[in-house]
């Protein structure tokens, strides 16, 4: 699958700290939009509200309908030492895999007291801990936890984040980080897209806390991706087949949608299927330069961290040098970066200006 030799530092760029958005804009669709033509490498400065003009009648917009759980919980050891619990995913009705942070080592059998009751540490599983909770996992965290803002947002979550760090179409609880490209859509923008003759379909990929883990291996072949749960429905597969047959484009909203659709396509190809099929399972798909895309034709995404797997995915889709040139322009032009930041639209003909 991969024939391009690249290393982690090939995806580095300089980003001043003041470019990292700490709060969302007052209106979801008020963000800026940088377009990049995959064919020519040309870019243009646009606005998110221009997106309907960049789409074509008959295109299909595919979105991730995962819902962010209030996955961060504060607790204490019997000694009084503080423990931070970050949910990764539920593995049984009352058991979960979590990250635990404390000033002293964690051991199996530890009982952590929280506002919602006592959590018992059952044991270690790779780089995560398995715990037992006093109630069903997702309901417990939603009642007693707080929204887990990404580590580069240097403030505590407030009441507004429960609404703004969630897309308008979030309905399947299970994520511990938002599919942030979806955060730009509000009702007027969705109405304008529908009026353009663009269909919508959904996948579910529950974003895990591992999405923020850095790539530590210098050689990308040595990096092991975290697992995330995916569901691609029959309805979405049918919509993609119908749109493709009519000459429309499949437009992925976010890197999570790309990984979901391309994982399903690889699963179908493994048993000789000629078309995309419904699929549910865990994906560890690491998309980097050299990957052959089977499903998506265009991508809407936020700006991503230097040397991250998400930036590598974008570079796989639109080539590393044009993407990094566009990123350098975005830094110089004052774009807002990361989860609450601005967006980028990558397609073969996004009507970009010449360089």
Q: How many CB atoms lie within 10 A of CB 198?
A: 22
Residue by residue, what is the 3-state secondary structure of the chain?
CCCCCCEHHHHCCCCCHHHECCCCCCCHHHCEEEEEECCCCCEEEEEHHHHHHHCCCCCEEEEECEEECCCEEEEECCCCCEEEEEEEEEEECCEEEEEEEECCCCCCCCEEEECCEEEEEEEEECCEEEEECCCCHHHHHHHHCECCCCCCCCCCCCCCHHHHCCCCCCCEEEECCCCHHHHHCCHHHHHHHHHCCCEEEEEEEECCHHHHCCCCCCEHHHCCCCCEEEEECHHHHHHHHHHHHCCCCEEEECHHHHHHHHHHHHHHHHCCCCCCCCEEEEECCCCCCCCCCCCCCEEEEECCCCCCHHHHHHHHHHCHHHHHHHHHHHHHCCCCECCCCCEEEEECCCCCCCC
Q: Evaluate whether 8-68+161-347 and 72-144 have a shared fold.
A: no
Domain residue ranges in the chain: 8-68+161-347, 72-144
Are 107 and 121 in contact, with CB atoms under 8 Å apart?
Answer: yes
Q: How many CA atoms lie within 13 A of 314 on its CB side?
A: 31
Joined tokens for residue 7: 């290393």
What is the full per-residue pLDDT of the chain (355 aa) written as tens digits? 655 677 899 999 999 999 999 999 999 999 999 999 999 999 999 999 999 999 999 999 999 999 999 999 999 999 999 999 999 889 999 999 999 999 899 999 999 999 999 999 999 998 899 999 999 999 999 999 999 999 999 999 998 999 999 999 999 999 999 999 999 999 999 999 999 999 999 999 999 877 667 777 778 777 778 789 999 999 999 999 999 999 999 999 999 999 999 999 999 999 889 889 999 999 999 999 999 999 999 999 999 999 999 999 999 999 999 999 999 999 999 999 999 999 999 999 744 443 3
Ramachandran region of residue 281, left (φ > 0), alpha (ψ -120 to 50) or beta? left
271: exposed, middle or buried (Cβ count in 10 Å: 0-12, 13-18, 19+): exposed
- Prediction pTM value: 0.92
| Distance of alpha carbon 255 from alpha carbon 237, whole angstroms | 18
Structure tokens at 239: 């919509």
What CATH number does the domain located at 72-144 have? Answer: 2.40.10.240
Q: Which fold has domain 8-68+161-347?
A: QueA-like (3.40.1780)
d(CA 323, CA 144): 41
């Amino acid at each position: 699958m991969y024939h391009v030799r690249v290393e982690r530092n090939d995806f580095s760029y300089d980003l001043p700290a003041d470019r990292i958005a700490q709060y969302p804009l007052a209106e979801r669709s008020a963000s800026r939009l940088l377009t990049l033509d995959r064919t020519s490498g040309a870019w243009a400065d646009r606005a998110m509200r221009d997106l309907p003009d960049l789409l074509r009648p008959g295109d299909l917009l595919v979105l991730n309908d995962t819902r962010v759980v209030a996955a961060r919980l504060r607790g204490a050891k019997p000694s009084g030492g503080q423990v931070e619990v970050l949910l990764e995913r539920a593995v049984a009705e009352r058991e979960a895999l979590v990250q635990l942070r404390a000033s002293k080592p964690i051991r199996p059998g530890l009982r952590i007291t929280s506002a919602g009751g006592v959590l018992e540490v059952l044991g270690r599983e790779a780089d995560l801990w398995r715990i037992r909770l006093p109630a069903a996992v997702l309901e417990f965290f939603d009642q007693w936890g707080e929204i887990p803002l990404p580590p580069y947002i240097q403030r505590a979550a407030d009441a507004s984040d429960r609404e703004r760090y969630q897309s308008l179409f979030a309905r399947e609880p299970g994520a511990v980080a938002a599919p942030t490209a979806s955060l730009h859509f509000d009702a007027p923008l969705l109405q304008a897209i529908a009026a353009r003759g663009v269909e919508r379909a959904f996948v579910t990929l529950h974003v895990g806390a591992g999405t923020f883990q850095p790539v530590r291996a210098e050689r990308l072949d040595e990096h092991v991706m975290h697992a995330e749960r995916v569901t691609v429905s029959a309805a979405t597969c049918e919509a993609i087949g119908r749109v493709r047959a009519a000459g429309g484009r499949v437009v992925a909203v976010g890197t999570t949608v790309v990984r979901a659709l391309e994982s399903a396509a690889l699963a179908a190809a493994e048993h000789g299927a000629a078309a995309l099929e419904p699929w549910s399972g865990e994906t560890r798909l690491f998309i980097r330069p050299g990957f052959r895309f089977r499903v998506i034709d265009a991508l809407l995404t936020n700006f991503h961290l230097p040397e991250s797997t998400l930036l590598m995915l974008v570079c796989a889709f639109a080539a590393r040098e044009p993407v990094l040139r566009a990123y350098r322009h975005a830094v110089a032009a004052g774009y807002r970066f990361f989860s609450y930041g601005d967006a980028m639209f990558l397609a073969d003909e996004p009507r970009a200006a010449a360089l």
